[in-house]
Amino acid sequence: MGLAVLFGMLHVMGPGHGKVFTLAYFSSRKARLGEGLMLSGLINILDSLPAFLLVGLTYGILS
């Protein structure tokens, strides 16, 4: 479990995961810190939800 969490933390720092979109959005306008944190949280949830559902579905089928 620990290795999976560590891999996830390293994986999310790689390219993708909404970082390019977020950077483009905030560099094109005057943004507040709260907006950035809220958008970052939303992107993380939307990125993690399909993986969570896939793992849960797979676990349900295999068990």
Residue 7 is assigned to a structural domain of this protein:
no
Q: Which amino acid is at 6?
A: L
Q: Which two tokens stand for residue 26?
A: 């905030």
What is the b/e burial string over 22-44, where b = at least 16 CB atoms within 10 angstroms of the residue's CB?
beeeeeeeeeeeeeeeebeeeee
**For the whole model, what pTM was predicted?**
0.53
In the predicted structure, residue 28 carries a pLDDT above the cut 80: yes
How many domains would you assign to the chain?
A: 1
Residue 31 is assigned to a structural domain of this protein:
yes
Q: Which two tokens stand for residue 4?
A: 């999976």
Distance of CA 19 to the CA centre of its chain: 9
Residue 43 is assigned to a structural domain of this protein:
yes
- pLDDT band for 60, please (50, 70, 90 cuts): very high
Residue 4 is assigned to a structural domain of this protein:
no
- pLDDT band for 62, please (50, 70, 90 cuts): very high
- pLDDT band for 23, please (50, 70, 90 cuts): confident
- pLDDT band for 61, please (50, 70, 90 cuts): very high
Structural domain that includes position 42 = 16-62
